[in-house]
């Protein structure tokens, strides 16, 4: 270790449970165990949902960057999530199956595959384990049995959790009263408005596509129970970090916490384990919403913005990842096509910068070393950039502050090109923009409605260049006008040397 090696900033994360930034100290030495609430696979995910996974991935990458071994679990909810988080309405999966005339199992398989394709497009890394709710039903029934006598009561519609049996119910949400957030108690016989079903009995005379036998009748587990059980089975209680979108801070996570308190309290028969210490995870983290002009993006309102739609309009999915990283995860982020276009331009600049460095490094072998090696051996002009980068991401994942350091590195003068590439590769391990492999050609995503191929455009532009060389400006203008008519904007003198872009979409 050289004398001037900096001491890396310790990782600090905002804990929604305490509403404060805390130093991260894993329960098991050097091992970070993280659970992220995954999608309910009854429909496509919109880009707002995808922000939650870009955030979870950035957290995982940051933990790995800081040297922790990471065990990340994301679940797939393929049963049990009702149309309202507050435990009312229909099961989203069964409803979608009925509407689309397919089996609930087929619906789940289809949208799970679509979701995973979107994750791959966004360069979100696979977790150590995907937990699929329907594969954990026996453990869910066991957990419900464990707490049934001490924390639950039965109604004709199923087994309900009595929130008054745990201390500080709703502490995470900071707002829960008997009235909840205006929740309506639609289920007759519930003791408190906030009580929730952990087992839903199939109504008499009906059959569900997804149902199992249980001591409380044939039926299906509740959504909140699923996450409590899957996180405990795969990670053990307590684990380090639980993530989800900020909407989960209000109902889903308080309910998970209540169950975790109950499950942990059973052996000693307390039932009143303190919430802060026994929530099941040390740190609860929530990403804020992606919004559009109309407010929170949702599947039921306005244009359904999927990643596929962005690609159909000619935007590379990683431009959306960059858009997310440009905002801090705890801030609302407004989506607009202009914002996305600006992120794409920034990504183009980054890719072109790195391509230039790679071209200059031809023949020089370089590889991306471990961070501790970089800390000790980096060129003195680059060392402060690494230090600042580490400080930024360690400061509750301040990616907006980290990104300009990437640009500074690309532009830094009088530094060997291979050293710059090493540092960029290290930064990109945390940011996940694929900068070392992405090319200009990759970023030219063809809009779905385009009437003209890139080859035809390039050929027309070559004819135009020849016409201009011969000072035949009439022909040059004619070619340009015909391109415009086909949806191609010719960008003479574009500083990025991009030359043209398709304006369709
Ligand atoms: P769901 O499939 O509805 O359970 O949602 C999947 C994830 O996306 C959850 O973590 C939600 O909290 C999160 N989420 C939903 N809407 C948004 C949004 N507009 N912006 C950011 N995250 C969201
Ligand atoms: Zn969950």
What's the rounded mean pLDDT across residues 75-104? 82
Nearest CA to ligand 1 atom 6: 39
Asked if 58 and 430 touch (Cβ cutoff 8 Å), the reply is yes
pLDDT of 2 strictly over 70: no
User: Do 149 and 277 share a structural domain?
Assistant: yes
In-domain check, residue 17: no
User: Do 206 and 101 share a structural domain?
Assistant: yes
pLDDT at 240: 98
User: Do 485 and 394 share a structural domain?
Assistant: no
pLDDT at 407: 97
Ligand 2 centroid – CA 252 distance (Å): 7
Domain with residue 54: its CATH number is 3.40.50.620
Average pLDDT, the chain: 90
Atom of ligand 1 nearest to the CA of 288: 21
CA 329/CA 238 separation, integer angstroms: 24
Ligand 2 centroid – CA 22 distance (Å): 23
CA 248/CA 289 separation, integer angstroms: 11
Atom of ligand 1 nearest to the CA of 333: 20
Q: What is the DSSP letter of 472?
A: -
Q: Which domain holds residue 220?
A: 29-291
Q: Which ligand is nearest to the CA of 35?
A: 2
Ligand 2 centroid – CA 101 distance (Å): 27
Which position has the higher pLDDT, 339 or 94?
339
For 91, the 3-state DSSP assignment is: strand
User: Do 151 and 253 share a structural domain?
Assistant: yes
Of 388, 421, 441, the one marking the end of a domain is 441
pLDDT at 87: 66
Q: With bands split at pLDDT 50, 70 and 90, how would you rate the model's confidence at 496?
A: confident
Ligand 2 centroid – CA 59 distance (Å): 17
pLDDT of 184 strictly over 50: no
pLDDT at 499: 80
In-domain check, residue 171: yes
pLDDT of 117 strictly over 80: yes
Atom of ligand 1 nearest to the CA of 36: 10
Least confident of 202-216, 296-310, 479-493: 296-310
Q: With bands split at pLDDT 50, 70 and 90, how would you rate the model's confidence at 356?
A: very high
User: Do 496 and 406 share a structural domain?
Assistant: no
Which position has the higher pLDDT, 247 or 367?
247
User: Do 212 and 350 share a structural domain?
Assistant: no
**Token pair recorded at residue 244:** 């989800």
Of 232, 256, 291, the one marking the end of a domain is 291
User: Do 484 and 379 share a structural domain?
Assistant: no
pLDDT at 183: 46
User: Which residues line the pocket of ligand 1, CB cutoff 6 A?
Assistant: 37, 39-40, 48-49, 51-52, 244-245, 247-248, 287, 289-290, 296-297
pLDDT at 301: 56
Asked if 252 and 38 touch (Cβ cutoff 8 Å), the reply is no
In-domain check, residue 299: no
Ligand 1 centroid – CA 228 distance (Å): 18
Ligand 1 centroid – CA 77 distance (Å): 13
459-492: buried (b, 16+ CB within 10 Å) or exposed (e) per residue?
Answer: ebbeebeebeeeeeeeebeebbeebeebbbebee
Burial (0-12, 13-18, 19+ Cβ within 10 Å), 206: exposed
Q: What is the pLDDT of residues 9-34, one digit of tens each?
A: 899 999 999 999 999 999 999 999 99
Q: Which ligand is nearest to the CA of 249?
A: 1
pLDDT of 179 strictly over 50: no
Nearest CA to ligand 1 atom 18: 48
CA 38/CA 154 separation, integer angstroms: 29
Least confident of 112-126, 263-277, 309-323, 364-378: 263-277
Q: What is the pLDDT of residues 119-168, one digit of tens each?
A: 999 999 999 999 999 999 999 999 999 999 999 999 999 999 999 999 88
Q: Which residue matches tokens 């464990």? A: 146
Residues 6+ away with beta carbon under 8 Å from 7: none
Q: Among 41, 49, 289, say which to mutate for ligand 1: greatest number of ligand atoms within 8 Å of CB.
A: 49
Neighbouring CB atoms inside 10 A of 28's CB total 13
Which backbone phi and psi does 62 adopt, to 5 degrees?
-65, -40
CA 382/CA 290 separation, integer angstroms: 34
Q: Which ligand is nearest to the CA of 223?
A: 2
pLDDT of 344 strictly over 50: yes
Q: With bands split at pLDDT 50, 70 and 90, how would you rate the model's confidence at 181?
A: very low
Least confident of 231-245, 338-352, 367-381: 367-381
Ligand 2 centroid – CA 242 distance (Å): 9
Nearest CA to ligand 1 atom 15: 49
Which backbone phi and psi does 190 adopt, to 5 degrees?
-65, 140
409-427: buried (b, 16+ CB within 10 Å) or exposed (e) per residue?
Answer: bbeeeebebbbbbbbbbbb
pLDDT at 190: 93
Which backbone phi and psi does 223 adopt, to 5 degrees?
-60, -40
Give me the number of domains the chain comprises: 3
Instruction: Work out the percent of the chain whose per-residue pLDDT is above 70.
Output: 91
Q: Among 55, 84, 247, say which to mutate for ligand 1: greatest number of ligand atoms within 8 Å of CB.
A: 247
CA 340/CA 505 separation, integer angstroms: 14
Q: What is the DSSP letter of 125?
A: P
Asked if 388 and 405 touch (Cβ cutoff 8 Å), the reply is yes
User: Do 455 and 375 share a structural domain?
Assistant: no
Burial (0-12, 13-18, 19+ Cβ within 10 Å), 313: middle
In-domain check, residue 125: yes
Q: With bands split at pLDDT 50, 70 and 90, how would you rate the model's confidence at 234?
A: very high
**Token pair recorded at residue 7:** 């001491």
User: Do 208 and 111 share a structural domain?
Assistant: yes
CA 283/CA 106 separation, integer angstroms: 35
pLDDT at 118: 98
What's the rounded mean pLDDT across residues 320-345? 97
Which position has the higher pLDDT, 180 or 202?
202
In-domain check, residue 301: no
In-domain check, residue 350: yes
Question: How much is the pTM?
Answer: 0.92
Q: Which ligand is nearest to the CA of 331?
A: 1
In-domain check, residue 296: no
pLDDT at 182: 41
Atom of ligand 1 nearest to the CA of 297: 19
Q: With bands split at pLDDT 50, 70 and 90, how would you rate the model's confidence at 296?
A: low
User: Do 115 and 33 share a structural domain?
Assistant: yes
Ligand 2 centroid – CA 233 distance (Å): 14
CA 351/CA 433 separation, integer angstroms: 9
In-domain check, residue 152: yes
pLDDT of 178 strictly over 50: no
Ligand 1 centroid – CA 381 distance (Å): 42
Q: What is the DSSP letter of 299?
A: S
User: Do 218 and 113 share a structural domain?
Assistant: yes
Nearest CA to ligand 1 atom 14: 49
Nearest CA to ligand 1 atom 23: 49
pLDDT at 154: 97
Burial (0-12, 13-18, 19+ Cβ within 10 Å), 458: exposed
Q: Which ligand is nearest to the CA of 295?
A: 1
pLDDT at 300: 60
Q: Which ligand is nearest to the CA of 253?
A: 2
Ligand 2 centroid – CA 37 distance (Å): 4
User: Do 336 and 270 share a structural domain?
Assistant: no
Of 441, 457, 477, the one marking the end of a domain is 441
Asked if 157 and 201 touch (Cβ cutoff 8 Å), the reply is yes
Q: 12 - beta bridge partners?
A: 23, 395
């Amino acid at each position: 270790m050289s004398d001037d090696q900096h001491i890396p900033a310790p990782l600090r994360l905002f804990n929604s449970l305490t509403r404060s930034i805390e130093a991260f100290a894993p329960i098991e030495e050097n091992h970070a165990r993280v659970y992220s609430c995954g999608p309910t696979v009854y429909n496509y995910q919109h880009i707002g949902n995808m922000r939650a996974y870009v955030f979870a991935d950035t957290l995982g990458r940051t933990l790995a960057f800081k040297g922790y071994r990471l065990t990340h679990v994301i679940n797939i909810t393929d049963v049990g999530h009702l149309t309202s988080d507050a435990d009312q309405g229909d099961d989203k999966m069964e409803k979608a199956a009925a509407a689309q005339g397919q089996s609930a199992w087929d619906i789940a398989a289809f949208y799970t595959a679509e979701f995973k394709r979107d994750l791959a497009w966004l360069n979100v890394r696979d977790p150590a384990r995907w937990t699929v709710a329907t594969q954990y039903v026996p453990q869910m029934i066991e957990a419900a049995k464990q707490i049934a006598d001490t924390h639950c009561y039965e109604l004709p519609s199923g087994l309900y959790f009595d929130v008054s049996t745990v201390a500080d119910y709703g502490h995470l949400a900071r707002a829960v009263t008997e009235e909840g957030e205006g929740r309506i108690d639609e289920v007759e016989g519930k003791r408190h408005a906030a009580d929730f079903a952990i087992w839903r009995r199939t109504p008499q005379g009906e059959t569900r596509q997804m149902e199992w036998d249980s001591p409380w009748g044939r039926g299906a587990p509740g959504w909140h129970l699923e996450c409590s059980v899957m996180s405990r089975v795969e990670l053990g209680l307590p684990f380090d970090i639980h993530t989800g979108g900020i909407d989960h801070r209000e109902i889903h996570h308080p309910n998970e916490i209540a169950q975790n308190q109950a499950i942990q309290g059973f052996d000693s028969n307390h039932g009143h384990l303190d919430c802060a210490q026994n929530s099941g995870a040390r740190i609860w983290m929530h990403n804020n919403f992606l919004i559009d002009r109309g407010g929170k993006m949702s599947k039921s309102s306005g244009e359904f913005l999927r990643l596929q739609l962005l690609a159909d309009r000619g935007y590379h999915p990683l431009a959306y990842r960059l858009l997310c990283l440009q905002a801090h995860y705890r801030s609302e982020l407004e989506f607009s096509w202009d914002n996305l276009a600006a992120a794409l331009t920034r990504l183009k600049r980054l890719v072109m910068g790195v391509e230039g460095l790679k071209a200059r490094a031809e023949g020089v072998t370089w590889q991306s070393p471990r961070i501790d090696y970089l800390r000790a051996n980096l060129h003195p002009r680059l060392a402060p950039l690494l230090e600042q980068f580490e400080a930024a991401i360690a400061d509750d994942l301040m990616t907006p502050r980290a990104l300009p350091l990437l640009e500074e590195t690309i532009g830094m003068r009088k530094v060997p090109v291979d050293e710059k590439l090493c540092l960029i590769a290290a930064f990109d391990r945390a940011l996940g923009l694929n900068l070392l492999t992405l090319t200009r050609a990759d970023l030219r995503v063809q809009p779905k409605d385009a009437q003209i191929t890139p080859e035809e455009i390039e050929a027309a532009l070559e004819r135009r260049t020849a016409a201009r060389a011969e000072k035949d400006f009439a022909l040059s203008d004619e070619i340009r006008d015909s391109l415009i008519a086909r949806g191609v904007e010719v960008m003479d003198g574009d500083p990025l040397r991009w030359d043209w872009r398709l304006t369709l979409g």
